[in-house]
């Protein structure tokens, strides 16, 4: 089933939305991430996409307490600052449905593969792409790997993928449909898409491309898109 997944990004204890992932370019801010998460669940969200942005920038998980509170409200997939297998396992054991690993998936691939064997269907490999190459460490460092090369690394493992097109992330100018199709068509595992979602037509294009779901952030928080308008696409 296709899933609509609101984003709950946490920075310095607050729920925020950033433009292009830049720390100082905040386009939305709320003091209580748990209340924000609860509101999305009350409005019908089945899954939440929770990112510890502070953790992403600092290289270690910062907001574990808030993450675990949110995990009690709904199914959650959590990323940002998960840079050790021990932290990933702890989150999974404490009730997080899926952990999202990006930097670790590149730099510690053998460990991540072992984690995927131990927790099937509960490891999500983040593929953050800028100019056709995967970026890591809070999108601050470039790699020489393409999204398809990273997917091939995990093709024999029971993982899912989170494809974020950094080139359009937070700009609310629409998606890059061709980039999404390229990744989804090449994947042999479920792909969740993030980045650039602006209106309902973008969501429909992501679904039609064959993705398993879509993460929506800025468009929901700025009112360009209403959750109630896109949730019916889960059932179509």
Active site residues: 9, 128
What is the dihedral sign for C-alpha 159, 72, 19, 3?
Answer: positive
> Which residues lie across from 14 on neighbouring strands?
11
Q: Give residues with Cβ within 8 angstroms of 81, minimum separation 6.
A: 52, 54, 55, 56, 58, 59, 60, 61, 62
User: For the residues of 112-125, what is the DSSP string, one character each?
Assistant: HHHHHHHSTT-EEE
Q: How many residues does the chain have?
A: 236
Of 86, 198, 105, 201, the closest CA to residue 151 belongs to 105
């Amino acid at each position: 089933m296709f899933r609509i997944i609101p984003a709950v990004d946490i920075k310095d204890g607050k729920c925020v939305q950033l433009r292009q992932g830049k720390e100082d370019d905040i386009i939305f801010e709320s003091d209580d991430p748990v209340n924000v998460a609860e509101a999305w669940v009350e409005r019908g969200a089945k899954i939440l996409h929770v990112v510890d942005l502070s953790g992403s920038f600092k290289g270690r998980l910062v907001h574990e307490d808030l993450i675990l509170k949110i995990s009690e409200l709904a199914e959650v997939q959590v990323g940002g600052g998960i840079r050790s297998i021990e932290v990933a396992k702890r989150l999974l054991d404490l009730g997080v449905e899926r952990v999202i690993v990006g930097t670790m998936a590149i730099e510690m691939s053998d460990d991540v593969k072992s984690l995927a064997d131990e927790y099937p269907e509960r490891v999500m490999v983040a593929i953050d792409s800028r100019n056709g190459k995967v970026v890591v460490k809070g999108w601050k460092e470039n790699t020489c790997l393409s999204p398809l090369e990273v997917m091939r690394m995990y093709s024999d493992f029971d993982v899912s993928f989170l494809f974020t097109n950094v080139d359009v992330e937070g700009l609310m100018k629409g998606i890059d449909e061709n980039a999404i199709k390229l990744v989804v068509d090449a994947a042999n595992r479920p792909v969740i898409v993030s980045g650039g979602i602006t209106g309902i037509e973008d969501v429909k294009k992501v679904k039609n491309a064959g993705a398993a779901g879509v993460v929506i952030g800025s468009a929901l928080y700025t009112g360009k898109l209403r959750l109630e308008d896109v949730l019916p696409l889960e059932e179509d």
